[in-house]
């Protein structure tokens, strides 16, 4: 009887807030194709602590949460904010620099879904410079991407499969394997990308 009681006491209760935080950390890390080691280096938080947070086995302090938010280039408020029932409409302006997820000589990515909401669906606008490619590591198991070409010509690679698409074409493919979106044209290519987690 005593052993059974001790075993029951050792099972932690699930905290909805820390549960959302653990999911958020894991998703944002994998979206960037970062390993735990890379996130540890970027944030200054130990790999073991990050692993416990992602498995919802640790309740991070405010200081630790701040460090993780800064590693993702987000404010603490953006990182931990829960969805608000009072906000019926969320507008993302075209010139909102906070939604510019990545911009370099190869690719520009704008997040078209709210940054502060943990979600199963994410929406992006991706602009690929001539010769540019967006190479991604495997996401969570069961993740799929849906893509529509707004401008230009691109090649999609998902594991060993590939397809070429032109303006107006759409495709869906596995994103739980390494995948690539590559600009095949001489001008800029623009695609809209929807990522759906299982």
What average pLDDT does the segment 115-138 reach? Answer: 86
Q: Is pLDDT at 178 greater than 70 in this prediction? A: yes
Q: Which CATH class is domain 97-196?
A: mainly beta
Helices 62-71, 47-54: inter-axial angle, 10-degree rounding:
100
Give residue limits of the domains in the chain: 14-80, 97-196
Distance CA(126)–CA(149), nearest Å, equals: 10
Distance CA 97, CA 108 (A): 12
Least confident of 96-100, 116-120, 166-170: 116-120
Question: CA nearest 51: which of 71, 74, 29?
Answer: 29
Return all residues near 34 (Cβ < 8 A) that are at least 6 apart: 42
Q: What is the pTM of this model?
A: 0.57
pLDDT in tens, 136-160: 999 889 999 999 999 999 999 999 9
Say which CATH architecture domain 14-80 belongs to: Orthogonal Bundle (1.10)
**pLDDT-based confidence at residue 16 (cuts at 50, 70, 90):** low
Distance CA 140, CA 127 (A): 24
Query: Which residues, in sequence order, are CB contacts of 141 under 8 Å at separation 6+?
Result: 176, 198
Say which range, 56-65, 82-91, 99-108, has the weakest mean pLDDT: 82-91
Using an 8 Å Cβ cutoff, are 96 and 131 in contact?
Answer: no
Give the β-pairing of 100-103 and 107-111: antiparallel
**What is the pLDDT at residue 9?**
43
Residue 197 is classified by DSSP as -
Beta strand 121-128 with 189-196: parallel, antiparallel or unpaired? antiparallel
Give, in order, the Cα–Cα distances in Å from 106 to each of 5, 100, 109, 127, 133. Answer: 58, 14, 10, 9, 6
């Amino acid at each position: 009887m005593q052993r059974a009681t001790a075993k029951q006491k050792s099972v932690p209760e699930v905290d909805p807030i820390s549960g959302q935080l653990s999911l958020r950390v894991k998703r944002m890390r994998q979206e960037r194709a970062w390993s735990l080691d890379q996130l540890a280096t970027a944030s200054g938080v130990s790999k073991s602590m990050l692993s416990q947070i992602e498995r919802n086995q640790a309740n991070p302090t405010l200081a630790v949460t701040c460090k993780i938010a800064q590693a993702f280039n987000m404010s603490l408020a953006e990182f931990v904010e829960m969805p608000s029932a009072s906000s019926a409409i969320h507008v993302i302006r075209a010139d909102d620099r906070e939604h510019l997820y990545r911009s370099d000589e190869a690719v520009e990515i704008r997040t078209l879904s709210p940054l502060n909401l943990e979600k199963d669906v994410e929406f992006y606008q991706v602009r690929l410079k001539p010769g540019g490619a967006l190479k991604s590591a495997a996401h969570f198991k069961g993740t799929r991407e849906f893509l529509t070409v707004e401008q230009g010509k691109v090649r999609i690679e998902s594991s060993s499969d590939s397809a070429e698409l032109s303006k107006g074409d759409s495709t869906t493919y596995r994103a739980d394997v390494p995948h690539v979106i590559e600009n095949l044209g001489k001008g800029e290519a623009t695609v809209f990308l929807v990522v759906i987690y299982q």
